[in-house]
Amino acid sequence: MLPLRKGRYQARLADTSEDIRAAQRLRWLCFVARNGTGEDDDQVDSDRLDAECHHMLVEDVTTGQLLCCFRFLPLSGGSEIARSYSAQFYNLAALESFDGPMVEMGRFCIHPEARDPNILRIAWAAMTRFVDEAGIEMLFGCSSFVGTEPEEHAEAFAMLKEHHLAPRRWLPRVKAPKVFRFARALRLRKPNPKQAMAAMPPLLRSYLAMGGWVSDHAVVDPALRTMHVFTGVEIRAIPAARKRLLRAVAG
């Protein structure tokens, strides 16, 4: 996949160990340092899946600074879904019957000091190009909320329960030891749409705009102080207008 350049930003695949370490460093800054561990130039966020994944980098070409990164794991179909990061936390047996190419997108992060929405746009454009080139039929991953108290995210969870639960045929089941079953706990709560969408993580908002759906429960991660929901997008179900927007940037 060739680099994608838009204005001052470029998205490209990592091709050296130094590239991957830079991504792991940015991940540590976004996911670990925010929890008050302090600044340490030697710290990185890494796990065993890094060696199996492709790593996408979004850089400012005028400065060379890494502003955004994510990794992705292509799978031939649902029969390989046990290899995914998400399978550690969710029972994904229902998705084992999915018979098209899939890709798991994870560890998505944007530098805490970066504010330009074009960074997110070019990241999605790069992923769109890969999805089109590889004939991917489902995109999935974990979407994280910062904070482990359910009430902090109640409006967003109520919106997910009301409008965005996974189809029954694909619904992930509980596997992790600590979860919040928001579809059950908030079954009588009606969300305030404006407040709910304002509280939704930006990456999850992007998934939902593409017709994405989520698990009926959130996994609590005490180490990263987050709660995350399994998120899936069936490519053929993305609204036509949204596909045109994504491809216009990716082209």
Q: What one-letter code names the amino acid at 60?
A: D
* Distance between CA atoms of residues 6 and 230, nearest Å: 30
The confidence score (pLDDT) of residue 111 equals 95
Identify the burial level of 112 via C-beta atoms within 10 angstroms of its C-beta, where 0-12 means exposed, 13-18 middle and 19 or more buried: exposed
Confidence of residue 39 (pLDDT cuts 50, 70, 90): low
- Tens-place pLDDT, residues 76-112: 999 999 999 999 999 999 999 999 999 999 999 999 9
Nearest to 8 by CA among 63, 57, 56: 63
CB 69 within 8 A of CB 33: no
Please give the CATH number for the structural domain made up of 4-250: 3.40.630.30
The confidence score (pLDDT) of residue 223 equals 83
SS3 40: coil
* Distance between CA atoms of residues 131 and 134, nearest Å: 5
CB 58 within 8 A of CB 69: yes
* DSSP notation for 112-159: TT---HHHHHHHHHHHHHHHHHHT--EEEEEEEEESS-GGGGHHHHHH
Note the pTM of the prediction, 2 decimals. 0.93
Confidence of residue 1 (pLDDT cuts 50, 70, 90): confident
